Amino acid sequence: MEETDLIVVGSGAAACVLAYRLRQQSGLRITVVEPESDLAPAIDRERPSRWLKLIGSKDDWKLKTEPCDRLASRRIDWPRGRGIGGSTRINAMIWFPPTATDFANWETACGGQRSIDQWRAAASDVESLVQPETPRFLSDASQQFMAATSGFANAEPMIYRRINRNGRRTDFSALLDGAGVVRGTADRVLWHGERAVGVNLVQGDRSRELRSRCGVVLCAGAIGTPSILMRSGIGPAEDLSRHDIIVRVDRPNVGRRLQDHLVMPVIFETKSKNIFRLDPAVRDVAKWMVTGAGSVSSNIAECGGLFDGGRFQVHVTPTNYLTFPKLSDTAMMTIAINLTRPRSSGTVTLSSPHACSLPVIQGGYGRDDRDIEELVEGVEMVRSIARGSGLGEWVERELIPGQRREGEQAIRKAISRYAQTLYHPTGSCQFGNQIDSPVDVDFKVRGFDGLWAVDASVLPSVTTGNPTASVMTMAWVAAESIAGTTVDRS
C-alpha cells in the first residue's frame, strides 16, 4: 500500500489545470491516476490537420451511445481521450472562452456564492496559462464564410483560436510536473466511514489500493466520474442494486442530466480550386515544420461563431464533414450548426460493476422535440447564408441535406440520418447549491469528506461553445477551494 496527500483521478483537461493550480496553492503531494494506454502515432496528435485520425485510435476510449430513437436508431460514436491530457489529446483544439451566459449560469448554480466576476477572473487566469494561438492558416472556405457573414446583425462570426503551440497541438503534460503518475483504472473510492481515503485501481488483471491523506478528486470526465461514483455506491439506488453494489447513498442525479451538442452538417460542393487533403504536399509539411504555419496547422474546424443572438453555434470546415479524411474529387465546404442550449438530456449508467466494462450511454438527443424544431430552423439559416450574397456564387451545390430535401419534414429526416455529436458531454454530476445536485458549490461530493469532483461532469448545463476553456476554469476555481480545505486540515 502506498500513500500520498491527494489523489487526482484522470489526467485530462480538468486534472492538468487542477494539479498545476493546487501545486501553486499548496505543498500537497499529488498522485494522478490515468489508465495505461498504447499511444496513437505522434504525427496524428501533433499535426492539427490530422486530428480526425485520432478518433477510434489508441488514444480514444471508443465509447458509443445506445441506439438513439430520434436519430434513426443510430448508435453514435462518443470518442473520449485516453492517456495523459485526456480528451485534449484528441480534440479539435478550438479555444472557446466561457460566455456571459455561462458565467451567469454558474453564478446561479452556486446561489451567488461565486460571482460572475470571480468566474471571469478565473477564466482569464486560465487563458493566460493556456495561451491559445491565433490560427496560422485559413482555408478559402473559411475566408469565404467570414467575408460573407462579417456584417451580419445579431451574430458574432469568429475565427476560432486554437489550443496550439507554434501550430502544434498543446501538450498539457508539463502541468503535471511535480505530481506522481500511477498508471491504472480507478475502480472505486476507498472509505474510512464517510471519508474518502484512497482508490482501488485495476492494473491489467491485478487490483491495488492507493491511499491518500487528504482525499480524492475525481477528474475522470463526464462519463468516467459518474461511473466511479456509482461503483463506489453513490448514485441512483435502483441502478446500483441491479449490479449488487452496496448503496452508500441514493443520489438519483449521478449520471443523469447528461447533455451534449447535437450538430447537423450542411455540406456543399464549392468552386474552390483547392481540395483539402489529409496528406499534404511535402513543401506544406516542410513549411509547417519550420514555421508552424500553412495547411498542416489547420484544425479543419477553423471558424464559425455564434448566430441568432447566440442561439446557434456554427462550424465551418473546408471538407465534407461526414466523409473526410476520405478524399473527394471536388472541393467541399461544411457549415455545421448546433443549438447552443439544448433542452434534452441523456444518462450514463453502469453495464456491470467492473471498472473496465464500458458504460451504457443514452445520448437523449431530441427527447425534447423543441431541440429538433430549432435545429431545423438552424439548417434553414445556414442555407440562407450559403445562398446569399457573397457565398451564393462560390457554392456549386448543396449535398447534405441536399437540394431535394426542402421543408420541415424533409430536414427533420436529414437530421435524424446525419446529425452527430459535437463531442461535448457535460453535466452528469452537476455542482450547485440545490440539495439534489450531486456536487456542492465547493466541488465536494455531497455528503462525504475528502471527495471532490471537478471536470465536465460538474457543469450545470452544457456550455455555450466548446467546453475545454470552461472545464479548465472550473478546475482553476476548484483547486483554490480544495487547497483551502486541505491546507486547513493538515
Ligand X SMILES: Cc1cc2nc3c(=O)[nH]c(=O)nc-3n(C[C@H](O)[C@H](O)[C@H](O)COP(=O)(O)OP(=O)(O)OC[C@H]3O[C@@H](n4cnc5c(N)ncnc54)[C@H](O)[C@@H]3O)c2cc1C
Taking contact as CB under 6 A, which single stretch among the options 93-101, 149-157, 258-266, 359-367 is the one that binds ligand X? 93-101
Taking contact as CB under 6 A, which single stretch among the options 41-49, 84-92, 147-155, 281-289 is the one that binds ligand X? 84-92
Which residue's C-beta sits nearest to ligand X?
12
> Of 339-378, which residues contact ligand X (CB under 6 A)?
355
**Out of 6, 7, 8, 9, which residue is the one contacting ligand X (CB under 6 A)?**
9
- Give the whole-angstrom CA distance, residue 106 versus residue 110: 6
416 binds ligand X (CB under 6 A): no
Say how many residues touch ligand X, by CB under 6 A.
41
> Of 219-278, which residues contact ligand X (CB under 6 A)?
219-222, 224, 228
**CB-wise, 190 or 355, nearer to ligand X?**
355
Taking contact as CB under 6 A, which single stretch among the options 116-124, 129-137, 216-224, 440-448 is the one that binds ligand X? 216-224
For residues 433-461, one letter each, b for 16 or more C-beta atoms within 10 angstroms of the residue's C-beta and e for the rest, the string is eeeebbbbbbbbbbebbbbbbbbbbbbbb
Task: Give least dist CB 412 to ligand X, A.
Answer: 26
> Of 457-476, which residues contact ligand X (CB under 6 A)?
466-468, 471
**CB-wise, 86 or 236, nearer to ligand X?**
86
**CB-wise, 94 or 262, nearer to ligand X?**
94
Q: Sign of the CA dihedral 120, 126, 129, 131? A: negative
Site map 425..464 versus ligand X, x via CB under 6 A: ------------------------------xx--------
**Out of 4, 19, 59, 86, which residue is the one contacting ligand X (CB under 6 A)?**
86
**Out of 45, 50, 70, 80, which residue is the one contacting ligand X (CB under 6 A)?**
80
> Of 51-70, which residues contact ligand X (CB under 6 A)?
55
**Out of 4, 8, 11, 71, which residue is the one contacting ligand X (CB under 6 A)?**
11
**CB-wise, 12 or 460, nearer to ligand X?**
12
96 binds ligand X (CB under 6 A): yes
185 binds ligand X (CB under 6 A): yes
Task: Give least dist CB 308 to ligand X, A.
Answer: 21
The three cell numbers of residue 213 are 491523506
Taking contact as CB under 6 A, which single stretch among the options 3-11, 172-180, 257-265, 345-353 is the one that binds ligand X? 3-11
Task: Give least dist CB 53 to ligand X, A.
Answer: 11
13 binds ligand X (CB under 6 A): yes
82 binds ligand X (CB under 6 A): yes
Residues that bind ligand X (CB under 6 A): 9-15, 33-35, 55, 79-82, 86-88, 90-94, 96, 185-186, 219-222, 224, 228, 355, 423-424, 455-456, 466-468, 471
